[in-house]
């Protein structure tokens, strides 16, 4: 059965002209969710849906009473100060509200007047993390990133033998996840300088970004149960952009034998907008595994996974230095990759996470891990682009970077685009480095 429905029709146009512009992330075929309020207003945060350059204020729409049935029930949950209750309702509720909004926002809709009264300009909005994130797990799903980093840390054994058999992940820190616009101080920690026998304490000198996607969980599973592979996507609300900032010098000293700790838990930046899996349906693609690689164990394998278990999402990392910002210069693109290169899929991450009886909850967040592609320009971190700091990355204004400096802002962008389908975008996830608190 096709996952496509009337909401995906590329011919659909909105009565809001900005939604129909070429290159627009927030087309009527997208309709992603966030939690927002008017900037500086002190208003309560509430759910919103992006359309063009505006936001549909879901709390105001609920007050208007123009939707009914399943869509109205879903709207009441989506209008709250966090999306957890809406996420918990499941695919039928998400689809009902998305369909109702699609019809109300289309050119010629009799509800245009009512919906116009609910619009807030995105330029006037501020955002918060869209859900109460109870737990955060970051995976390691790009074999290209794993191999590149392995060569730097373990030249004689770059890819550990378990990588091709098991989706690797670590437990992150939910309390330091922030929404786009997040600023954070350069982290302090222990590092072992080259040639030294004793570690030193101080600010990280090898601060890095990671180009990732985030996966928000919808309905969870009871502890002691597991989610089967072909049921996994029913437990996924949608995807966002994610930057898991990393202190590479701290990481190199602490990561053996138990993995990342202080090198990763000081900040993680996500985009405010969550794009639903339903909106991404036109960009599904085959999930493949090289024939000479180990094939997945049965609990991570299915015909549906092979047929359409991957998503062709373009993701980019851009750098805006303090000098660029002061001069009014545009940010420079560092890398561009696609989620289709991921060695492990969204459904495999969810199935593996729960196979031991681990219970997921609505609003939990999974990170994909750095999504590097097969070519050098598709590397998703400065660690890779600079060959571990050995090679400077030249910027258009004459500056160079091996790792991030104070004042640097990293901008992640993501979108899906192809002939015969409407563009679906993720907006931006922006974070900026402040000096260490010494």
Instruction: Determine if residue 138 is labeled as part of a ligand binding site.
Output: yes
Instruction: Determine if residue 370 is labeled as part of a ligand binding site.
Output: yes
Determine, yes or no, domain membership for 1: no
Contact by Cβ (8 Å): 35, 81: yes
Contact by Cβ (8 Å): 74, 89: yes
How far apart are alpha carbons 174 and 172 in whole angstroms?
Answer: 6
Determine, yes or no, domain membership for 20: yes
Query: Do 95 and 159 lie in a common domain?
Result: no
pLDDT at 279 over 90: yes
Determine, yes or no, domain membership for 77: yes
How far apart are alpha carbons 427 and 432 in whole angstroms?
Answer: 17
* Stated length of the chain: 438
Determine, yes or no, domain membership for 104: yes
In 3D space, the residue among 282, 314, 284, 279 whose CA is nearest the CA of residue 415 turns out to be 314
pLDDT at 2 over 80: no
What's the pLDDT score for residue 1?
44
Instruction: Determine if residue 163 is labeled as part of a ligand binding site.
Output: no
Give SS3 for 338. strand
Give SS3 for 189. strand
What's the pLDDT score for residue 157?
83
In 3D space, the residue among 31, 60, 30, 28 whose CA is nearest the CA of residue 43 turns out to be 60
Q: Give the mean pLDDT of 232-237.
A: 98
In 3D space, the residue among 282, 217, 259, 263 whose CA is nearest the CA of residue 383 turns out to be 263
Instruction: Determine if residue 128 is labeled as part of a ligand binding site.
Output: no
Query: Do 101 and 151 lie in a common domain?
Result: no
Instruction: Determine if residue 292 is labeled as part of a ligand binding site.
Output: no
Largest CA distance in the chain: 73
In 3D space, the residue among 426, 422, 364 whose CA is nearest the CA of residue 20 turns out to be 422
Rounded to the nearest 5 degrees, what angle is found at the Cα of 178, between the Cα atoms of 176 and 179? 170
How far apart are alpha carbons 23 and 308 in whole angstroms?
Answer: 26
Contact by Cβ (8 Å): 385, 248: no
Instruction: Determine if residue 264 is labeled as part of a ligand binding site.
Output: yes
Query: Do 110 and 238 lie in a common domain?
Result: no
Contact by Cβ (8 Å): 25, 425: yes
Give SS3 for 214. strand
Confidence class for position 154, pLDDT limits 50, 70, 90? confident
**Domain containing residue 160: CATH number:** 3.90.850.10
Q: Give the mean pLDDT of 314-330.
A: 98
Distances (CA, A) of 167 to 153, 300, 334, 345, 362: 20, 10, 27, 9, 21
Query: Do 298 and 257 lie in a common domain?
Result: yes
Contact by Cβ (8 Å): 165, 294: yes
Query: Do 69 and 98 lie in a common domain?
Result: yes
Query: Do 144 and 117 lie in a common domain?
Result: no
Determine, yes or no, domain membership for 11: yes
Give SS3 for 196. coil
Q: Give the mean pLDDT of 17-42.
A: 97
pLDDT at 344 over 50: yes
In 3D space, the residue among 415, 411, 412 whose CA is nearest the CA of residue 280 turns out to be 415
User: In the annotation, is 145 catalytic?
Assistant: yes
**Domain containing residue 46: CATH number:** 2.30.30.230
Rounded to the nearest 5 degrees, what angle is found at the Cα of 196, between the Cα atoms of 190 and 201? 20
Q: What digits encode the pLDDT tens for the residues 186-222?
A: 999 999 999 999 999 999 999 999 999 999 999 999 9
Distances (CA, A) of 143 to 162, 255, 352, 369, 370: 12, 19, 17, 10, 10
What's the pLDDT score for residue 313?
98
Query: Do 148 and 289 lie in a common domain?
Result: yes
Q: What digits encode the pLDDT tens for the residues 99-115?
A: 999 999 999 999 999 99
Last residue within a domain, chosen from 88, 110, 128: 128
Instruction: Determine if residue 251 is labeled as part of a ligand binding site.
Output: yes
Instruction: Determine if residue 154 is labeled as part of a ligand binding site.
Output: yes
Q: What digits encode the pLDDT tens for the residues 66-91?
A: 999 999 999 999 999 999 999 999 99
How far apart are alpha carbons 219 and 43 in whole angstroms?
Answer: 29
Query: Do 351 and 237 lie in a common domain?
Result: yes
Q: Please report how the helices 69-78 and 91-105 are oriented relative to each other, as an axis angle in degrees rounded to 10.
A: 100
Last residue within a domain, chosen from 105, 128, 151: 128
Q: Give the mean pLDDT of 297-317.
A: 98
Query: Do 201 and 227 lie in a common domain?
Result: yes
Q: Give the mean pLDDT of 301-305.
A: 97
In the chain, the number of structural domains is 2
In 3D space, the residue among 205, 152, 155 whose CA is nearest the CA of residue 387 turns out to be 152
For residue 68, what are its two tokens? 């009914």
How far apart are alpha carbons 285 and 288 in whole angstroms?
Answer: 9
Q: By residue range, what is the domain housing residue 95? A: 6-128
Query: Do 147 and 232 lie in a common domain?
Result: yes
E strands of 153-248, at which residues? Answer: 169-171, 177-179, 182-185, 188-191, 200-203, 207-208, 211-217, 236-243, 246-247
Burial category of 290 from C-beta neighbours within 10 Å (exposed 0-12, middle 13-18, buried 19 and up) = exposed
Query: Do 62 and 152 lie in a common domain?
Result: no
Query: Do 254 and 123 lie in a common domain?
Result: no
| Gyration radius from the chain CA atoms | 22
Determine, yes or no, domain membership for 100: yes
Q: Which of 8, 144, 145, 353 is catalytic?
A: 145
Determine, yes or no, domain membership for 118: yes
DSSP string covering 234-269: GGEEEEEEEE--EEHHHHHHH-TTT--STTTTT-EE
Last residue within a domain, chosen from 93, 128, 163: 128
């Amino acid at each position: 059965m096709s996952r496509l429905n009337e909401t995906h029709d590329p011919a659909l146009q909105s009565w809001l002209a900005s939604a129909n512009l070429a290159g627009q992330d927030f087309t009527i075929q997208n309709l992603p969710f966030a939690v927002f309020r008017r900037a500086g207003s002190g208003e309560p945060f509430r759910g919103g849906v992006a359309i063009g350059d505006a936001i549909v204020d879901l709390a105001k729409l609920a007050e208007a009473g123009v939707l009914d049935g399943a869509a109205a029930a879903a709207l009441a949950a989506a209008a709250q100060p966090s999306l957890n209750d809406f996420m918990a309702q499941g695919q039928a509720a998400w689809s009902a509200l998305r369909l109702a909004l699609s019809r109300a926002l289309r050119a010629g809709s009799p509800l245009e007047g009512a919906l116009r009264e609910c619009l807030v300009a995105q330029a006037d909005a501020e955002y918060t993390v869209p859900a109460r994130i109870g737990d955060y797990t970051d995976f390691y799903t790009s074999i290209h990133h794993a191999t590149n980093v392995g060569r730097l840390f373990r030249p004689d054994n770059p890819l550990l033998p378990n990588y091709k058999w098991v989706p690797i992940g670590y437990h992150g820190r939910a309390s330091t996840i922030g929404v786009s616009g997040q600023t954070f101080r350069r982290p302090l920690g222990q590092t072992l300088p080259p040639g030294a026998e004793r570690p030193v304490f101080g600010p990280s000198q090898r601060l890095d970004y990671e180009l990732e996607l985030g996966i928000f969980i919808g309905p969870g599973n009871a502890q002691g149960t597991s989610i089967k592979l072909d049921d996994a996507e029913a437990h996924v609300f949608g995807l966002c952009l994610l930057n898991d900032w990393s202190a590479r010098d701290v990481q190199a000293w602490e990561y053996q034998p138990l993995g990342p700790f202080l090198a990763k838990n000081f900040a993680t930046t996500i985009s405010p907008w969550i794009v639903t899996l339903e909106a991404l349906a036109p960009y599904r693609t085959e999930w493949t595994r090289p024939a000479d690689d180990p094939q997945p164990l049965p609990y991570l394998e299915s015909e549906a996974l092979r047929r359409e278990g991957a998503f062709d999402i373009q993701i980019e990392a851009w750098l805006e230095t303090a000098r660029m910002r002061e001069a009014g210069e545009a940010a420079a693109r560092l890398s561009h990759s696609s989620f289709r290169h991921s060695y492990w899929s969204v459904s495999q991450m969810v199935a593996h996470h729960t196979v031991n009886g681990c219970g997921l909850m609505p609003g939990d967040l999974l990170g994909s891990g750095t999504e590097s592609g097969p070519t050098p320009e598709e590397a998703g971190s400065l660690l890779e682009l600079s060959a571990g700091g050995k090679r400077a990355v030249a910027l258009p204004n004459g500056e160079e970077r091996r790792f991030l400096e104070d004042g640097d802002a990293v901008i992640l962008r993501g979108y899906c685009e192809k002939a015969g389908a409407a563009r679906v975008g993720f907006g931006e996830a922006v974070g900026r480095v402040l000096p260490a608190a010494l």
